[in-house]
């Protein structure tokens, strides 16, 4: 049994870490498409084809269930994959829905009609491709009414994090938060809609101020995955070993990943 976790680069490691803490005995196969990161500046067709290749690679590792730990892929490719491509014995799940269920105070998998919720003003921080897809607003509209979402496209942040340039990443986060606050001065909640951003969560919180509740995906996705696997134990797949694979330079990605997660991570080439 193994579950696949995919991201364009290092960001999905925040989800992998949370899943590992939640289910330490579950083997996880991680794939980073570092050769093609960032996805956030690509068009939807490009993201769709790259994501399909990565998911197929994780199926080869015995992962019947693959988590797209990438908002950009979840936003630009998941619906199209689910509608026309994924075979009936496989599942591919994204990272938006657990976040929106938490924001709208729903139980995991509650598909009842949209209703009024406590939160009214929400700031969304994400990549340019995620923002322009409006996938977050679409998924939210299925579950809640009367919520105003102001989205801020955070150009440059993923590149700075991938390059390990925390100083640049912090400066960019602060400038994107200021831009958002000019459009929506008093958000009640902020969504970190990119799996790279939890690494900058303290900076987002500091720039937004203490009254804003910051939602980040890693632990929410881990909790909802645990619930899903309880309900669908057959989706754990046949793979037995945890591994990290990349389309990039394995040695370089291992060093970056070790810095990113602050524990030793060794990648192999795809």
Instruction: Looking at residues 53 to 72 of the shown chain, list those that interact with ligand DGL (rule: CB under 6 A).
Output: 70-72
3-state secondary structure at position 15: helix
7 binds ligand DGL (CB under 6 A): yes
How many residues sit close enough to ligand DGL to count as binding (CB under 6 A)?
17
Residue 181: count of CB within 10 angstroms of its CB: 18
Three-state SS annotation for 121-179: EEEEEECHHHHHHCHHHHHHHCCEECCEEEEEECCCHHHHHHCCCHHHHHHHHHHHHHH
Count other Cβ atoms within 10 Å, centred on residue 119.
17
Smallest gap, in angstroms, from Cβ of residue 268 to ligand DGL? 21
Tokens 């929400």 appear where? 122
For tokens 């694979």, the residue is 245
Q: Which is nearer to ligand DGL, 117 or 261 (CB)?
A: 261
Q: Which helix (H) or strand (E) holds 49?
A: helix 44-60
Q: Is 112 exposed, middle or buried (0-12, 13-18, 19+ CB in 10 A)?
A: exposed
CA–CA separation, 31 and 246 (whole Å): 6
Using CB under 6 A as the binding rule, the residues of this chain from 141 to 170 that contact ligand DGL are 158
196 binds ligand DGL (CB under 6 A): yes
Considering only 6, 30, 39, 125, the residue that binds ligand DGL (CB under 6 A) is 39
Nearer to ligand DGL, 236 or 244 (CB): 244
Q: Is 70 marked active-site?
A: yes
Q: Which is nearer to ligand DGL, 40 or 237 (CB)?
A: 40
Cβ atoms 63, 29 nearer than 8 A: yes
70, 103, 157, 212: which one is catalytic? Answer: 70
Binding residue (CB under 6 A) for ligand DGL from 4, 32, 40, 187: 40
What string marks each residue from 211 to 250 as x (binds ligand DGL by CB under 6 A) or -? Answer: ----------------------------------------
Q: Tell me which of 5, 37, 66, 225 binds ligand DGL, using CB under 6 A.
A: 37
- The structure tokens listed for 192 are 């970190």
* Residue 127 binds ligand DGL (CB under 6 A): yes
Active-site residue 194, yes or no?
A: yes
Q: How far apart are CA 246 and CA 259, in angstroms?
A: 16
**Contact positions toward ligand DGL, by CB under 6 A?**
7-9, 11, 37-40, 70-72, 127, 130, 158, 194-196
Q: Which residues are catalytic?
A: 70, 194
């Amino acid at each position: 049994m193994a579950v696949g976790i995919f991201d364009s680069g290092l960001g999905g490691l925040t989800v992998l870490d949370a899943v590992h803490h939640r289910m330490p005995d579950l083997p996880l196969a991680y794939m980073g498409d570092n050769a093609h990161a960032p996805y956030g500046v690509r068009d939807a067709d490009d993201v769709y084809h790259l994501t399909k290749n990565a998911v197929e690679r994780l199926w080869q590792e015995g992962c019947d269930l693959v988590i797209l730990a990438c908002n950009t892929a979840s936003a630009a490719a998941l619906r199209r994959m689910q509608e026309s491509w994924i075979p009936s014995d496989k599942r591919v799940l994204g990272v938006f829905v657990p976040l929106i269920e938490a924001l709208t105070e729903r139980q995991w998998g509650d598909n009842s009609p949209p209703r009024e919720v406590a939160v009214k003003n929400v700031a969304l921080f994400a990549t340019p491709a995620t923002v322009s897809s409006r996938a977050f607003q679409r998924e939210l509209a299925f579950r809640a009414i009367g919520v105003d979402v102001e989205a801020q496209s955070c150009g440059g942040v993923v590149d700075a994090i991938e390059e390990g340039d925390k100083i640049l990443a912090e400066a960019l986060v602060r400038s994107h938060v200021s831009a958002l606050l000019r459009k929506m001065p008093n958000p009640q909640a902020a969504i970190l809609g990119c799996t790279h951003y939890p690494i900058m969560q303290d900076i987002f919180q500091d720039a937004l101020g203490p009254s804003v509740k910051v939602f980040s995906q890693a632990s929410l996705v881990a909790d909802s995955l645990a619930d899903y696997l309880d309900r669908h134990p057959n989706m754990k797949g046949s793979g037995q070993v945890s591994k990290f694979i990349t389309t990039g330079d394995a040695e370089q990605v291992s060093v970056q990943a070790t810095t990113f997660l602050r524990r030793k991570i060794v990648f192999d080439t795809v």
